Amino acid sequence: MTDILLKGGRLLDPSSNLDAVGDLLVRDGKIESVGGNIAGPDGATVIDCTGQVVSPGFIDVHCHLREPGREDVETIATGARAAAAGGFTAVCAMPNTDPVTDNQAAVGFVLKQGRAAGAARVYPIGAISIGQRGERLAEFGEMVGAGAVAVSDDGKPVVSSQLMRTALEYARTFGIPVADHCEDPTLALGGAMNEGIVSARLGLKGIPAEAEEIMAIRDILLARLTGGHVHLCHMSTRGSVDLIRWGKDRGIRVTAEACPHHLSLTEDAVEGYDTNAKMNPPLRTADDVRAVQEAVKDGTIDVIATDHAPHHYDEKEREFSDAPNGIIGLETALPVNVTWLVKPGIISLATLIDRMSCAPAKLFHLPGGALRRGIAADVTVFDPAAEWTVDPKGFRTKGRNTPYAGMTLMGRVLCTLVEGSVVYHQGVG
């Protein structure tokens, strides 16, 4: 394995308060040294990082890689390569596949396919309930033993409060977060977008913010009751972040994620019945976007996760109410976050790196999330000022369902290193 020298970049690692221009040397898959002017050892590959940011690799705690079951839409390999192209060195795959990742063998399969891909690391998330049916707990212990890093029934909420309580209690033994998709299914029934003036105008059934908030506060209260770690997926409303803040203020073990689309787009994107603006939770109001941005800034929202959800072209090419929810996100997460959060000065680059790398590593107990001597070299190099126009045709993911197509965004990944290997380099592959 050749040494790699990242030369002259801005080394930015909020976990160690590092922010300095300098070099970073990778040897045997590990970070050998960080900072200062490092002379390149013989035979080292030197990557010129002038003008680039060198940061700990991004970690996505929420994506859908569709394998097994829908390999026509995405495979673990294509998803892992898309992740690498987006600067992610690790992703957590949600278990709502077919069959559901609800047992040791299924977890092992995801892990094996992830390793074989040789791109971003893939960590399986196990199901909370068998078959995600919301009835009986899956075997958390066996799944964690096989490599699962969290449990979730994402795609659906855990409707039964009793089941959620048990899951939070039971997960404590294994020290894993229970990630919940917060949605009151009766309030959200048949809904296609945020409930408000746009849904009223377009004649689409709305999903009120309260459908999310009611479940968010239920989960927070159950975390208080059980002492378990609840992780709230894709928070999208002002009410939700207020409730999370309330929980955190009381020392309740609640963490939360927000998605780049909820930090950048509003329900107005649905105008014209664009099915690429259809997701669950739906795009909300401008006020909600501001509140969630603010929550990312103050840490109420701990991490930014993509909720990458590829769909087949035909599935989105239909009437709005019948189209499936979700958009792809791995290859647009960084530029969307830079364009809507860093460029307008809402958060600093250091905060962004914390929310995309350090915090996810910490909350999900994953390696990485730092630029420190001796740890595995999971590193992302990106140009925060580069502008480029999104063209889904060039994506590594099989999905093309993005509302950002044609937009000119800021921030572009130059290369991604996983365990010291270059798994993505701009313009290569």
Integer Rg of the chain from CA: 20
Alpha-carbon distance values, 22 to 29, 225, 364, 377 (Å): 19, 48, 30, 16
Q: DSSP readout, 138-185?
A: --HHHHHHHT---EE-TTS----HHHHHHHHHHHGGGT--EEE----H
- Which residues inside 248-277 make contact with other proteins, applying CB under 8 A? 272-273
Q: Which of 20, 46, 105, 200 binds other proteins (CB under 8 A)?
A: 200
Nearer to other proteins (CB atom), residue 58 or residue 320: 320
Q: Which of 34, 84, 182, 204 binds other proteins (CB under 8 A)?
A: 204
User: What is the enclosing helix (H) or strand (E) of 90?
Assistant: strand 88-93
Q: What is the three-class DSSP state of 285?
A: coil
The label of the residue with tokens 């040397």 reads 25
Tell me phi and psi for residue 127, to 5 degrees: -75, 155
Interface region with other proteins, contact rule CB under 8 A, candidates 204-212, 257-265, 365-373, 392-400: 204-212
Query: Which residues face 256 on adjacent strands?
Result: 232
> In sequence order, which residues have a C-beta less than 8 Å from that of residue 231 and are 6 or more positions away?
61, 150, 152, 177, 178, 179, 180, 254, 255, 256, 257, 363
Nearer to other proteins (CB atom), residue 156 or residue 316: 316
Q: Which of 87, 196, 282, 403 binds other proteins (CB under 8 A)?
A: 196
Q: Min. distance of Cβ 274 from other proteins in angstroms?
A: 9
Nearer to other proteins (CB atom), residue 187 or residue 336: 187
Residue 219 annotated among the catalytic residues of the structure: no
For residue 388, state whether it binds other proteins (rule: CB under 8 A). no
Q: Min. distance of Cβ 202 from other proteins in angstroms?
A: 6
- Which residues inside 342-361 make contact with other proteins, applying CB under 8 A? none
Nearer to other proteins (CB atom), residue 190 or residue 374: 190
For residue 206, state whether it binds other proteins (rule: CB under 8 A). yes
Site string for other proteins, 305-324 (x = CB under 8 A): ---------xx-xxxxxxx-
User: What is the enclosing helix (H) or strand (E) of 108?
Assistant: helix 104-117
For residue 405, state whether it binds other proteins (rule: CB under 8 A). no
Please give the Cα distance from 335 to 365 (Å, whole number): 26
For residue 246, state whether it binds other proteins (rule: CB under 8 A). no
For residue 202, state whether it binds other proteins (rule: CB under 8 A). yes
Q: Min. distance of Cβ 403 from other proteins in angstroms?
A: 16
Nearer to other proteins (CB atom), residue 32 or residue 267: 267
For residue 208, state whether it binds other proteins (rule: CB under 8 A). yes
Burial of 370 (0-12, 13-18, 19+ CB in 10 A): buried
Which member of 307, 354, 378, 383 is catalytic? 307
Please give the Cα distance from 121 to 107 (Å, whole number): 14
Annotated catalytic residues are 307
> Which residues contact other proteins by CB under 8 A?
195-197, 199-206, 208, 272-273, 314-315, 317-323
